[in-house]
Structure 1
């Protein structure tokens, strides 16, 4: 999957980094990358995020650090009058080099090295992190930089896990970008329906065999695996929040065979749909 280059330098102006928050009714699919590092904290929202070759669910307080040129996007839609909110901080490699120039910063090396695969933080006190991020947005002058450095130092000692299993480095290709975004937007809006390989290949004017090679080379996943991931994510939400039977949920999410659905679910979640429903429903 080839992403679009996002030019963050337009926003930096006289600053060393770009920090902002925003609210929205949906996180729309925008597969993109940029040479800057990025911290993203989901204040409120849910859906799934794609980082490198990873495709995972996210919810409130999701917090990640993404290294330079890693393709990523968050996807999710609100219901009713609800809104999502995210806080984003993007900073350059030049700033990182300056921070690491201090002997006292050596422990941060591992943080930035791991960020090349994306890092998900498992914070015990997300409200504290959220407040620090708001402070960074509102701060001015050198205090703004110092608060960011302090946060990065804190994250060096936080519980975390890497996200992508493959190292990505991208160069922009407008034609491929247009194709893959068209495909993924279509899948996001239609995964609950029957989708054939020919249908999706025709969408971008490619043969089925060429499309499969294109998708596999770009994402590290097969087209069917990517589509199954979308469907299973929706299944999991409905298992927890819906009173529908497992059979109906599977069919409504695009699975035509219950036996195939059960096999895919077991591979993706290492359990059965009924056990997943029982375990997670007890949390709500």
Structure 2
């Protein structure tokens, strides 16, 4: 999982984090635990989840089926994926799959897929200097316009502004 903590948190912990390499090993571990503890105290509203690799939801009804579907999405989110393909993976009709998926995840398939793609795009935008248009296509969007729209909808800013604010 990746998280973004605001400037205030970064400023408060900066000196402590920068000092870690110069400390003896035992003190490094203690200070690292202190940093993690301080980050754990940050209120949820003051941090932004950038990416998460765990897409699996706990469910009592058909856990194997939803796990198979989520694994398929996780392995293929970057390629062209349509509802009937995923319904076939679940061995269901598209209508039945839509109801099942919504009931299990509380999201439509398209909404869920877009969130996965945008989370991965966020991670790439932070970790690499890849052009935004390339990021768009690498996570499975086939239109930069739609990518920008979905990104702004889910993250609250355009990919360009997001990258500028983070870096």
CA distance in structure 2 between the aligned counterparts of 1:127 and 1:235, rounded to whole angstroms: 29
Q: Using structure 2 for the length normalisation, give the TM-score.
A: 0.68
| Structure 1 vs Structure 2 CA RMSD | 2.5
CA distance in structure 1 between the aligned counterparts of 2:112 and 2:60, rounded to whole angstroms: 22
State the partner residue of 1:189.
Answer: 75
CA distance in structure 1 between the aligned counterparts of 2:77 and 2:106, rounded to whole angstroms: 20
Given the alignment of the two structures, is residue 127 of structure 1 paired with residue 15 of structure 2, yes or no?
A: no
Given the alignment of the two structures, is residue 224 of structure 1 paired with residue 107 of structure 2, yes or no?
A: no
Cα drift, residue 160 of structure 1: 3.3
State the partner residue of 2:119.
Answer: 233
Q: Given the superposition, is the C-alpha separation of residues 265 and 171 from structure 1 closer, same or farther in structure 2, using an over 3 Å criterion?
A: closer
Q: Using structure 1 for the length normalisation, give the TM-score.
A: 0.41
CA distance in structure 1 between the aligned counterparts of 2:67 and 2:154, rounded to whole angstroms: 24
- SS of 1:240's equivalent? helix
- SS of 1:271's equivalent? coil
Tell me, which stretches of 5 or more residues in structure 1 are unaligned?
1-46, 48-56, 60-124, 132-154, 163-169
Relative to total residues, which structure has the larger helix share, 1 or 2? 2
How many residues get paired?
127
Given the alignment of the two structures, is residue 160 of structure 1 paired with residue 43 of structure 2, yes or no?
A: yes
Given the alignment of the two structures, is residue 211 of structure 1 paired with residue 97 of structure 2, yes or no?
A: yes
CA distance in structure 1 between the aligned counterparts of 2:124 and 2:131, rounded to whole angstroms: 10
CA distance in structure 2 between the aligned counterparts of 1:237 and 1:171, rounded to whole angstroms: 27
